[in-house]
């Protein structure tokens, strides 16, 4: 997949079918919309493309991290590429997109710059200054500027509309199995293994600690059954995410005890995929109580992994 990050990089590209959206998480709804774009492009002999932003428009407008990501910017592009997309236009919303009129965006970007013959967007897609454009307006503008518009209906699962905001809420409350249904995969965190306080090793439960990416949606504090992916191999694990006041920590951390594992992986990148939440974070009266509970958590994780191979 070829990535374009500004207008100057795009020169005389072939005709395209392009999907428009932020696509946070590339959840099952996004995946279906993009897959339909790719399929139509192949059918008509076009190049398939996605237009997205590198940061959520709301965060740019509020100068904050009000909307947390479901995946990193890099992982979003990887997930889009896996769907077979040829081109990805990844622009910065801060480059004046909040001031562009819907008509100008349709003509100068979709029609001329992206050379689009077909355009796909979600039912709740908005564009242009003050988000004043929607699917109906885009359809009308497409008739003027020479491209077809396909407005994708919402995807429903268990009576709920699939959306990034719904998934963020499920992650924030620790409902990882529910989130997985809407994402189409397990929610995960990625990072390099760093040195922790090494208390886990002294009490018989060595852990791999990773830095928490503060731009990613934060799961509810607690203990989770997880999978640790290292060098393309999956290992069963149990993971604690929180503050850990019982051992004197006061900052957010993610630490995974990988079952039946003895490799040294400091400095290595791992991905922690979240399964079921075992319990919330607790403060224990002493180290012995902590050790006892960790032992119970480990047994719970072993049984879960055994039953869910």
pTM of the model: 0.91
pLDDT computed for residue 246 by the predictor: 45
Residues of the chain with pLDDT under 50: 246-249
Q: How many CB atoms lie within 10 A of CB 122?
A: 21
Cα dihedral sign for 174, 180, 183, 187?
Answer: positive
Helix axes 164-172, 176-183, angle to 10 degrees: 160
* Exposure of 207 in the CB half-sphere (CA atoms within 13 A): 24
pLDDT computed for residue 247 by the predictor: 45
Query: Looking at domain 2-157, which CATH architecture does it have?
Result: 3-Layer(aba) Sandwich (3.40)
pLDDT computed for residue 200 by the predictor: 53
The CATH code for residues 187-307 is 2.40.30.30
Q: Residues spanned by CATH 3.40.50.620 within the chain?
A: 2-157
pLDDT computed for residue 202 by the predictor: 52
pLDDT computed for residue 195 by the predictor: 76
Residue 183 contacts residue 70 (beta carbons within 8 Å)? yes
Q: Residues spanned by CATH 2.40.30.30 within the chain?
A: 187-307
pLDDT computed for residue 245 by the predictor: 53
């Amino acid at each position: 997949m070829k990535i374009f990050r500004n207008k100057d990089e795009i020169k005389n590209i072939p005709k395209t079918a392009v999907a428009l959206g932020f696509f946070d998480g590339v959840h099952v709804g996004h995946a279906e919309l993009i897959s339909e774009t790719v399929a139509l492009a192949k059918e008509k002999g076009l190049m398939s493309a996605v237009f997205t932003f590198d940061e959520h428009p709301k965060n740019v407008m509020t100068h904050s991290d009000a909307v947390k990501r479901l995946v990193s910017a890099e992982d979003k592009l990887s997930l889009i590429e896996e769907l077979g997309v040829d081109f990805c236009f990844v622009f910065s919303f801060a480059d004046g997109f909040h001031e562009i009129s819907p008509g100008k965006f349709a003509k100068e970007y979709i029609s001329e710059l992206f050379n689009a013959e077909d355009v796909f967007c979600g039912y709740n897609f908005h564009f242009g200054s003050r988000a004043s454009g929607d699917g109906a307006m885009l359809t009308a503008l497409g008739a003027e500027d020479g491209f077809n518009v396909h407005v994708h209906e919402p995807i429903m699962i268990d009576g709920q509309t699939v959306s990034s905001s719904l998934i963020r809420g499920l992650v924030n409350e620790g409902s990882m199995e529910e989130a997985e249904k809407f994402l189409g995969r397990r929610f995960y965190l990625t990072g390099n293994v760093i040195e922790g306080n090494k208390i886990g090793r002294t009490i018989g439960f060595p852990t791999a600690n990773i830095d928490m990416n503060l731009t990613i949606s934060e799961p509810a504090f607690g203990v989770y059954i997880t999978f640790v992916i290292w060098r393309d191999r999956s290992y069963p694990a149990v993971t604690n995410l929180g503050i850990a006041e019982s051992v004197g920590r006061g900052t957010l951390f993610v630490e995974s005890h990988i079952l039946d594992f003895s490799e040294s992986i400091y400095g290595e990148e791992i991905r922690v995929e979240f399964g079921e939440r075992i319990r919330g974070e607790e403060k224990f009266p002493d180290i012995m109580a902590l050790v006892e509970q960790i032992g119970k958590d480990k047994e719970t994780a072993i049984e879960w992994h055994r039953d869910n191979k």
